[in-house]
Structure formats: structure tokens, C-alpha cells
Amino acid sequence: MILTVTLNTAIDKAYTIDSLKVGQVIRVKEAKYTAGGKGLNVTRVVNILGEPVLAMGFSGGYAGKFVESELDRANISHHFVRIEGETRSCVNIIDNSTGVQTELLEPGPTVNYEDVGKLIDTYKSFVDKSEVITLSGSALNGIRASIYQTLIEIAQIKGKIMILDTSGRFLVEGIKANPTLIKPNISEAQYLLGTQITNVEEAKTAAKRLAAMGTKMVAISLGINGAVVATKDEVYYAKAPDIKVLNTVGCGDAMVAGFAVALARGYRPEEMLRLGIAVSTANAMTIETGSCKLQDIEHLLGRISVTAT
């Protein structure tokens, strides 16, 4: 089973409009609501790929109940710690006239020491049942920056595969526990290394440097340019196929889902990268955030070439 942890769940709202004009009343042409937060985007895609998955994290108020009901509707197992306050909403505004997408992300409620303790106890109860565990996204106010380090160390004692996809201080603290794989984007990798990354070759170098710090594998996502994956011995690169983009939100999460499924199935790093790129690209072809179609993935896999250096 793959266990996904989302410490800041959300209702993701994708609004499609004709043109974004500041200061004017704008009518939304199409609205899509999904159970969101980076970890739940991972969850849905893992489910689409056919692997057993369980989602856990925090859930609050009526919005939290909506998130849980959406997972129920998709027949996805979940176990959330209920908290005071309302689960946040995140809005992606898709401007048809320019193709530009604008995200508005709420911070979410605040949790207390008791809430975090319940979350850790719940996590411990599912670790033994899991092969791969993904830790994704930001955390609620009131949670220490070391939370991911703590969760990784708990699972490592049991020999579990750990994927960390976060940013800022949570990433800095989390990598101290040497998870199996981290997936920073360019800006996050630059933040970790204090250097600029302007092309694929620099991304390869950055991935090798990060892998040398102790993480078994490092994947740096490069948007439309694909991604690189580094181990201590080799670096792999794959470019994303050209497609008509509908919604880019959740592409990185879809990539993490592909990586998690690949690791659960025992794929080699180059196979893992190919699946991650295919799933991420398929997500961009779907208007719903954190979703994709199996037929798109199967078609895209044949268009992706992985090179090793």
C-alpha cells in the first residue's frame, strides 16, 4: 500500500474565465472542485494508476467534510484527524485569452500540540501496512518545521520507502533524515543549494550535489522541460512531450504519484522517471486538478526518451 500524508488539505477550485481583468466583475465559465492539497493530488493519481492507497492528514469544518466525501465518492481510503477551524480553499484562475494561470492559496487553520500528537499516532498505526510513504506540501500553522524529519525517521526504522515533496524550512529540516527520494522544483533546488539553475545541465549538476548529501535519489522537476533524476552513480533526464495544456496545477504531485507507484513496483530509476513524466504530462492535459487518464499515460509513455549520463 502507498500512504500519502497531507498536512494542509484543501478544496481545490479551478475557475476558467474568458479574460482576467483586475477590478471588474468576472463571470466564471467553468468551475471544478476537487479534494486538494498536494498529498491528495498524489492520492488520486496513485488510485488511477491502480495501486492501493490510503490518505491521511488533517481535516476541519464543512470544507473538510467535503474533502472526505470526495474521497469516498472515488472509493479512496482515508483517515483524517479532525481539527477546529475550516479546511482551506485554493483557487486556480485559468485565463483563456492568455493561457496564464493564477493561483490563490489560503494558509489554512491553526493546530495545537494535541492535534499533532494525534496525527503522529495515526501515522504510526499505518506505517507497518505501507510500502511507500509520500509526504507532500506545506503544513498548518502550529506545526514545527521538523515534522517531516520526525515522520521520516519513524518510517525508516521500519525500512519504508519515503518520498518528500515540500519547500522552505520543511524541506531543509526534512532532508536531514535522508528520505529515499526528494522532488524539488527548480526554485526549491536553488533554495537548498544557494545557486542558480538556468538549464538542464545545471539541473543535472544540482541533482548530483543534492544526492551526495545523503538522499538515495533526487528528482528535480523542470516544468515543460521535463525532469532529471540523480542517484549516487548516474543522472537521468527526460523531456516532457509537447501537448495542449489545460491545467498545470498538480503536475508535480502527479509526478510524485508516478514515482511512488514505480518504487512500489520495483522499477529502475529510468523507468521511474519515464512514468513520472508521463503521468505529470497527462495531468496537464486534464482540467481537473490532480487527475489524469490512463489512456493518455499509456500513449505518452511511448513518446518519452530517457537518457543517462
Q: Which of 263, 217, 276, 221 is nearest to 51 (CA)?
A: 263
For 35, 92, 101, 274, 284, the CA distances from 19, given in Å and listed in that order, are: 26, 14, 11, 35, 20
pLDDT score for 291: 86
pLDDT score for 249: 82
In this structure, what C-alpha cell is assigned to residue 79? 483517515
Q: Which of 76, 56, 42 is nearest to 123 (CA)?
A: 56
pLDDT score for 250: 87
Distance CA 301, CA 279 (A): 9
| Paired strand residues for 230 | 218, 235
pLDDT score for 86: 96
DSSP 63-91: HHHHHHHHHHHTT-EEEEEEESS--EEEE
**Which DSSP category does 288 fall into?**
S
Residues in contact with 197: Cβ distance below 8 Å, sequence separation at least 6, in sequence order: 186, 189, 190, 203, 206, 220
Model pTM? 0.93
What are the structural domains of the chain? 2-308 (3.40.1190.20)
pLDDT along the chain (309 residues), means of 10: 97 94 94 93 96 98 97 97 96 92 93 97 97 97 97 97 97 96 96 95 96 94 94 95 87 96 97 97 88 93 94
What ranges in 175-216 are assigned the alpha helix state H?
Answer: 186-193, 200-211
The cell 538522499 sits on which residue? Answer: 215
